[in-house]
Amino acid sequence: MSTAIHKLGRTHARFTFFVCFMAALAGLLFGLDIGVIAGALPFLSTDLHINNQQQEWVVSSMMLGAALGALASCWMSAQLGRKFSLLTGAVLFIVGSLWSALSPNVESLIIARILLGLAVGIASYTAPIYLSEIAPEKIRGSMISMYQLMITIGILAAYLSDTAFSYSGSWRWMLGIITIPAILLFIGVLFLPGSPRWLAAHGRYYEAQKVLSMLRSSNEQVHKELEEIRESLKIKQSGWALFKDNSNFRRAVFLGVLLQVMQQFTGMNVIMYYAPKIFGIAGFTSTANQMWGTVIVGFVNVLATFIAIGLVDRWGRKPTLKLGLLVMAGGMGVLGTLLHLGVDTEFQRYFTIIMLMLFIVGFAMSAGPLIWVLCSEIQPLKGRDFGITVSTATNWIANMIVGATFLTMLETLGNANTFWVYSALNVIFIILTISLIPETKNVSLEHIERNLMTGKPLREIGAQD
Q: Which residues bind ligand BGC (CB under 6 A)?
A: 34, 148, 151-152, 155, 263, 268-269, 272, 301, 368, 395, 399
Contact of 428 with 333, CB cutoff 8 Å = no
Minimum distance from CB of 37 to ligand BGC (Å)? 11
Contact partners, residue 12, CB within 8 Å, separation at least 6: 214, 215, 216, 217
Closest CB to ligand BGC among 151 and 257? 151
Minimum distance from CB of 151 to ligand BGC (Å)? 5
Minimum distance from CB of 428 to ligand BGC (Å)? 19
Closest CB to ligand BGC among 63 and 101? 63
d(CA 32, CA 34): 6
d(CA 117, CA 69): 7
Minimum distance from CB of 152 to ligand BGC (Å)? 5
Minimum distance from CB of 347 to ligand BGC (Å)? 29
Minimum distance from CB of 256 to ligand BGC (Å)? 13
* Count of alpha carbons within 13 angstroms of residue 257, beta-carbon side: 9
Closest CB to ligand BGC among 217 and 399? 399
User: What are the DSSP calls for 358-427, one per residue?
Assistant: HHHHHHHTTHHHHHHHHHHHSS-GGGHHHHHHHHHHHHHHHHHHHHHHHHHHHHHH-HHHHHHHHHHHHH
Closest CB to ligand BGC among 337 and 405? 405
* In 190-317, beta strands by DSSP E: none
Q: How many CB atoms lie within 10 A of CB 239?
A: 21
Minimum distance from CB of 275 to ligand BGC (Å)? 11
Residue whose beta carbon is closest to ligand BGC: 368
Closest CB to ligand BGC among 97 and 260? 260
Closest CB to ligand BGC among 34 and 278? 34
**DSSP letter, residue 80:** T
Closest CB to ligand BGC among 239 and 368? 368
Phi then psi for residue 25, to 5 deg, are -60, -30
Dihedral angle sign, alpha carbons of residues 121, 123, 128, 130: positive
